Amino acid sequence: MTDPAAQVSVLAISDRVDAPLYDPGVRGRFGHVDMVISCGDLPAYYLDYLASMLNVPVLMVHGNHDEPPPPGAAEPSGGAVNLHARVVRSHGLLLAGLEGSQRYNYGPFQYSEAEMCWQAARIVPRLLWNRLRYGRSLDVLVTHAPPAGIHDQPDRCHRGFQVFRWLLRAFRPRYHLHGHVHVYSNQTVTRSQVGETLVVNVYGHRELRLERAEAAPRAVAPVPH
């Protein structure tokens, strides 16, 4: 049986404002979580509400439907830390993020495959430094879009990124959390093991217990309902 002290309780959210979370009762239901991770397409007021109600760090990336700030204006943080093209350490986990989706029009937070390769290249030096410093590169990759061929769809907007598959192979994060692909049926696959990485579509919200690096096995413990 896994030692609870070896786990980090995460409320992962994406794409939809869920009424049970945007409610004063959220503190009773999720007051025990250690952090909130947003995979995008959520308004700043929602992130700010969860940050204030749960009093935990909120880490996020933008989705393709998020609105950028006007030119010269500061980006509203929603009480959250933007993970895009950054690597951070929190609660013993090494986390990195990449925002947006495949480019399908001229909207914000969209990237061609080549452009996303450039964004991913920005975090590689820190991932290599992590490997030297901590003996591992990355625990949790946070993106809006999925990796190519995993939970994605054939249309251009919802096609995953090939470079995410490369990141999983090269740096072997324990988990990859994404959103973007909406889930309308409980028959839809939302968890897939890809090499050493568990890929999870967190559409709506999911409570996950992530194992710290020294714990085993590499899996997400189910949360009782």
**In the prediction, which pLDDT does 215 show?**
43
pLDDT digits (tens, 9 = 90+) for 127-181: 999 999 999 999 999 999 999 999 999 999 999 999 999 999 999 999 999 999 9
Low-confidence ranges of the chain (pLDDT < 70): 1-4, 72-78, 214-225
Domains of the chain with CATH codes: 4-69+76-221 (3.60.21.10)
- Cβ atoms of 141 and 157 within 8 Å: the answer is no
Strand partners, 98: 143
**Which DSSP symbol is given to 147?**
B
Measured in whole angstroms, the distance separating CA 98 from the mean position of its chain's CA atoms is 8
**What is each CA distance from 156 to 39, 92, 111, 159, in whole angstroms?**
19, 36, 11, 5
**In the prediction, which pLDDT does 70 show?**
72
**In the prediction, which pLDDT does 77 show?**
63
pTM of the model: 0.92
If we measure between CA atoms, which residue out of 105, 119, 181, 108 comes closest to residue 147?
181
- Cβ atoms of 195 and 169 within 8 Å: the answer is yes
Strand partners, 207: 11
Angstrom distance (rounded) from CA 171 to CA 137: 6
